[in-house]
Chains A and B, each alone.
Chain A
Amino acid sequence: EDQVTQSPEALRLQEGESSSLNCSYTVSGLRGLFWYRQDPGKGPEFLFTLYSAGEEKEKERLKATLTKKESFLHITAPKPEDSATYLCAVQAGSGGSNYKLTFGKGTLLTVNP
């Protein structure tokens, strides 16, 4: 069974204090790893897709990286508007199940001014 574990569950940072969120996964045949951002009362918003170990993607203050067992979401010099829950999801397998995403429980990031 595919498993996704995110850590920490919650993280408080001061504005400008860089840090990383972790997503570790156990799957059979990774097809892709996804990061989403979710603001309170809203649906998840797609951020990145990573397909293979060594791949990196960047968007503003966020950079996502992927290894064979985990992914990191690095946040550089965060601002209060980066406060949100960040979700990691994996897509694995083949054939009829390749649509399915398995989500982690998320990391709640709070950035204080």
Chain B
Amino acid sequence: DAGITQSPRYKITETGRQVTLMCHQTWSHSYMFWYRQDLGHGLRLIYYSAAADITDKGEVPDGYVVSRSKTENFPLTLESATRSQTSVYFCASSDPGTVYEQYFGPGTRLTVT
């Protein structure tokens, strides 16, 4: 199916474990983004990527790592999960021709115990 997908949709992990959230889009959009959404904070940008092999930090990058070897995939890794990283994570993508309009995936709800 065309669009943007995220996996897993739900994840429970323990403090200190490494966890990777996957994001896949079929539009061949150049730009991809990772956000977290928390009550009281709204959506905050973690990392973004302008193209394959080009990534940069957003507003709240600490504790996260990203990579982008292929245009369609943009995984987000929590190297050593902490309780403060319990959140809902959204991936988004954008067409460079209309760079302002970002299209979001369904989200991953992550709980760190």
Q: Which residues of A contact B (CB under 8 A)?
A: 31-32, 34, 36, 41-46, 49, 87, 89, 91, 98-101, 103-106
Is chain A's interface secondary structure helix, strand, loop, or mixed overall?
A: strand
Which B residues touch A31, using CB under 8 A? 100
Complex contacts, A46 vs chain B, CB 8 Å: 101-104
Secondary structure of the B contact surface, majority rule: strand
For the A-B complex, the count of residue pairs with Cβ-Cβ distances under 8 Å equals: 50
Partner of A44, one of B31, B43, B45, B48: B43
How many angstroms between the C-alpha atoms of A32 and B45 in the bound complex?
A: 17
Q: CB distance B107 to A99 under 8 Å?
A: no
Chain B contacts with A in 72-113, Cβ cutoff 8 A: 90, 92, 94, 99-107
Q: Which of A45, A87, A91 is B43 in contact with, Cβ under 8 Å?
A: A87
